[in-house]
């Protein structure tokens, strides 16, 4: 893991990388996610600087065209599942993580994992991944009916907030007749059966 001074340098380079690769609008989103992830991290006893770093990098590949994402993932030997092959937009997290590894020398596996899984989530997500996942859903410019409830939940319990956001995302996909990535569905099933066990 990077030392504190390395981390300051990394944060600056991550911000530059995001600025260079994104439109002003998405760069604005990126800065808000970074700030929100940092705030959530402080509240929940997670390293705020590493949460900020994950936030700065999470969407770095979001504006690459889907066919380019797929090509890069193949070139870099990243795992691509059949769902992602059909929906290469979902590769923007894994490609951003690999970009950060290659361009910034980032080797913090927890930060890389948070970036990789920020869109779909996955079973067994750690605290840093949860902070980024939730931050992406509740950053201050997000505006949808349940966002206020999610913000409140995020202050109390990051994992519950993440699962609630995931549930909303699955419903959102269903309403639009879109399928949800199997990793997200698996995560939701596991979270719901864990909640059920706590009730019993
Ligand atoms: N868990 C999921 N399973 C399948 N598709 C998803 C999932 N999460 C997001 N998507 C789709 O992937 C695309 C990118 O999602 P995301 O990066 O969260 O959106 P945005 O960039 O608008 O915040 C969207 O079209 C969204 O509908």
Concatenating the DSSP letter of every residue in 141-184 gives: T---TTHHHHHHHHHH-HHHHHHHHHHHHHHHHHHTT----HHH
Atom nearest to 121 CA in ligand 1: 1
Q: How confident is the model at residue 2 (pLDDT cuts 50, 70, 90)?
A: low
Q: Tell me if 122 CB under 6 Å of ligand 1.
A: no
Q: Which residues are within 8 A (CB) of 12 and not within 5 positions of it... i.e. 6 or more apart?
A: none
- Give the ipTM of the model, two decimals please: 0.90
- Least Cα distance to 58 among 141, 143, 120 occurs for 120
pLDDT digits (tens, 9 = 90+) for 138-178: 999 999 999 999 999 999 999 999 999 999 999 999 999 99
Cβ atoms of residues 198 and 166 within 8 Å: no
Average pLDDT score over residue span 178-197: 92
Distance 7 CA to ligand 1 centre (A): 29
From the CA atom positions of the chain, what is the Rg in Å? 16
Structure tokens at 29: 């989103």
CATH architecture group of domain 4-199 = Orthogonal Bundle (1.10)
CA distance 138 to 131: 11
Percent of the chain predicted with pLDDT > 90: 91
- Tell how far the Cα of 200 is from the centroid of ligand 1, in angstroms: 34
More confident residue, 1 or 36: 36
pLDDT of 93 above 80: yes
Residue-averaged pLDDT of the chain: 96
d(CA 90, CA 80): 10
Whether ligand 1 lies within 6 angstroms of the CB of 89 is answered as yes
Please name the residue that has the structure tokens 């706590």. 198
Ligand 1, residue 173: give the atom nearest the CA.
27
Q: How far is it, in rounded angstroms, from Cα 154 to Cα 160?
A: 8
Q: What is the C-alpha to C-alpha distance for residues 167 and 147, in angstroms, rounded to an integer?
A: 13
Instruction: Write down the domain spans for the chain.
Output: 4-199
Q: What mean pLDDT comes out for the span 182-197?
A: 91
**Residue-level pLDDT at 3:** 75
Any ligand 1 atom below 6 A from CB of 120: yes
């Amino acid at each position: 893991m990077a030392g504190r001074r390395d981390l300051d340098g990394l944060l600056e380079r991550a911000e530059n990388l995001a600025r260079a690769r994104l439109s002003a609008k998405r760069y604005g989103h990126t800065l808000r996610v970074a700030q929100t992830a940092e705030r959530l991290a402080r509240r929940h006893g997670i390293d705020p600087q590493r949460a900020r770093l994950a936030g700065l990098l999470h969407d770095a590949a979001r504006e690459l065209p889907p066919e380019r994402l797929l090509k890069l993932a193949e070139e870099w030997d990243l795992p691509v599942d059949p769902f992602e092959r059909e929906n290469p937009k979902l590769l923007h997290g894994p490609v951003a993580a690999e970009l950060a590894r290659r361009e910034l020398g980032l080797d913090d596996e927890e930060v890389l994992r948070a970036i990789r899984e920020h869109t779909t989530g996955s079973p067994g997500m750690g605290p840093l991944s949860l902070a980024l996942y939730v931050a992406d859903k509740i950053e201050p410019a997000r505006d949808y009916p349940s966002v206020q409830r999610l913000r409140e939940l995020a202050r109390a319990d990051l994992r519950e907030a993440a699962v609630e956001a995931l549930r909303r995302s699955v419903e959102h996909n269903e309403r639009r007749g879109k399928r949800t990535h199997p990793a997200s569905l698996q995560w939701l099933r596991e979270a719901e059966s864990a909640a059920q066990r706590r009730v019993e």
